[in-house]
């Protein structure tokens, strides 16, 4: 694994932007598409899923969201060691450029997964995704992630086109609290902790079987009370505007 990572680092640091003082005559690819090959080894060649379902697609996600994740991995707020090593010496400016590059790739989504859901699971998932549970003050997923669940620029990612394994891992790390998954406290960890395991399970499966339209959500801002819940992400950490 170490050898693999070293090769990846070679890709990224030997670039004019990552290392502006580099004067050696290394043959360096000069476009962002070449430089991010270190990323697409795992994340897939821009449009496809990566080597397995655990590697999330990053193309076309909101720029501010991607930028925040890159900062989170680099600064230890989200844990995945190979990425932390890769991003270690990159400046905020360079990470913003990478976020911009992947965000602007508008590519077709993979087909939905085939998973059997029981009718009760579908009902439970649709209820929580589109209506939430007012009694528990649990907002609908769609209230923040958009009516079409394709995300809200610039900080909220879409929920479709992700694999079941990946979604389950994310909700799991927010719920368990042991593994950091971004800013704390944050709205997603509160929401994930409110969900019972059968609810998480039903939602995760349901999301993974929906086709992703790729159409942007027309709404461009969260309702004030939802923005307030997520303020550590959508306001204070707004460097990616
Ligand atoms: C060794 C494989 C590997 C490499 C190389 C890699 N990634 Fe990742 N990346 C992952 C995995 C696995 C995750 C999910 C980790 C998790 O569950 O938190 C991830 C997550 C992400 C996320 C968060 C996605 C989301 O929807 O929240 C972004 C953004 C990202 N990577 C960007 C990059 C960029 C940019 C590069 C190149 C500089 C890169 N990655 C290189 C494996 C990799
Ligand atoms: C109050 C607003 C809000 C609500 C409601 C909400 N989310 Fe989120 N969600 C967010 C924010 C903000 C992020 C980005 C977190 C970050 O930047 O680390 C996010 C990120 C996610 C991600 C990560 C996607 C990726 O690409 O890694 C998943 C999965 C997710 N939410 C699932 C859900 C589900 C399922 C529900 C409903 C049960 C839900 N969310 C309800 C605000 C919300």
CA 134 – CA 141 distance, rounded (Å): 12
Kindly give the distance from the C-alpha atom of residue 56 to the centroid of ligand 1, in angstroms, as a whole number: 7
Cα torsion 225, 226, 228, 229 to 10°: value is 120
Cα 112 to middle of ligand 1, angstroms: 21
Ligand showing the shortest atom-to-Cα distance for residue 161:
2
pLDDT of residue 240: 37
- Length of the chain (residues): 241
Check pocket membership of 233 for ligand 2, CB cut-off 6 A.
yes
Cα(168) to ligand 1 centroid in Å equals 16
- Nearest Cα residue to atom 26 of ligand 2: 157
Can you give the pLDDT at residue 15?
45
pLDDT for res 52: 65
Ligand nearest to the CA of residue 46, numbered in listed order: 1
Report residue 12's pLDDT band, with 50, 70 and 90 as the boundaries.
low
Residues contacting 125, CB < 8 A, separation 6+: 117, 202, 203, 205, 206, 207
Indicate which atom in ligand 1 lies nearest the CA of residue 170.
Answer: 17
Ligand 2 and 161: CB distance under 6 A: no
Q: Are the C-beta atoms of 200 and 171 separated by less than 8 Å?
A: yes
Q: What percent of the chain has pLDDT over 70?
A: 81
Q: Which residue, among 15, 4, 10, 87, has the nearest Cα to 51 in the 3D structure?
A: 4
pLDDT at 180 over 90: no
Give the whole-number percent of the chain exceeding pLDDT 90: 57
Contact status, residue 92 vs residue 241, Cβ threshold 8 Å: no
How far does residue 139's CA lie from ligand 1's centre (Å)?
Answer: 28
Ligand closest to 187 (CA) is 2
- If you measure from the C-alpha of residue 188 to the centroid of ligand 2, how many angstroms do you get, rounded to a whole number? 5
Instruction: State yes or no: pLDDT of 105 exceeds 80.
Output: yes
What is the number of alpha carbons within 13 Å of residue 22 lying toward its C-beta? 15
Task: With beta carbons less than 8 A apart as the criterion, state whether 90 and 18 touch.
Answer: yes
Indicate if the pLDDT at residue 78 is higher than 50. yes
By the 8 A CB rule, do 188 and 167 touch? no
The mean pLDDT of 176-194, rounded to a whole number, is 84
Q: Is the CB of 173 under 6 A from ligand 2?
A: no
Cβ atoms 144, 226 nearer than 8 A: yes
- Confidence band for 183, pLDDT divided at 50, 70 and 90: confident
Give, for ligand 1, the residue of 8, 35, 42 to mutate: max count of ligand atoms closer than 8 Å to Cβ. Answer: 42
Per-residue pLDDT at 151 exceeds 90: yes
Angle 43-44-45 from CA coordinates, rounded to 5°: 130
Identify the sign of the CA torsion 80, 71, 78, 132: negative
Range 222-239 average pLDDT: 78
Calculate mean pLDDT across residues 127-152: 96
């Amino acid at each position: 694994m170490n050898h693999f990572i070293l090769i990846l680092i070679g890709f990224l640091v030997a670039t004019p932007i990552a290392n502006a003082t580099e004067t050696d005559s290394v043959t360096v690819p000069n476009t962002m598409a070449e430089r991010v090959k270190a990323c697409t080894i795992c994340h897939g060649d821009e449009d496809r899923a990566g080597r397995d379902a655990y590697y999330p697609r990053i193309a076309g996600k909101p720029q501010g969201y991607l930028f925040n994740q890159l900062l989170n991995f680099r600064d230890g707020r989200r844990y995945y060691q190979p990425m932390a090593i890769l991003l270690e010496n990159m400046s905020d400016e360079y990470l913003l450029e990478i976020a911009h590059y992947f965000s602007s790739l508008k590519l077709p989504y993979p087909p939905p997964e085939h998973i059997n859901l029981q009718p009760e699971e579908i009902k439970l998932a649709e209820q929580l995704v589109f209506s939430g549970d007012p009694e528990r003050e649990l907002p609908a997923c769609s209230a923040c992630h958009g009516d079409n669940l394709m995300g809200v620029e610039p900080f909220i990612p879409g929920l479709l086109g992700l694999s079941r394994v990946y979604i389950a891992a994310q909700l799991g790390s927010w719920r368990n609290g042991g593994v950091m998954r971004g800013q704390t406290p944050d709205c997603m960890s509160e929401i994930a902790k409110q969900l019972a395991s059968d609810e998480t399970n039903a939602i995760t499966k349901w999301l993974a079987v929906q086709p992703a339209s790729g159409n942007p959500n027309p709404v461009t801002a969260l309702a004030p009370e939802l923005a307030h819940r997520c303020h550590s992400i959508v306001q204070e950490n707004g460097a990616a505007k």
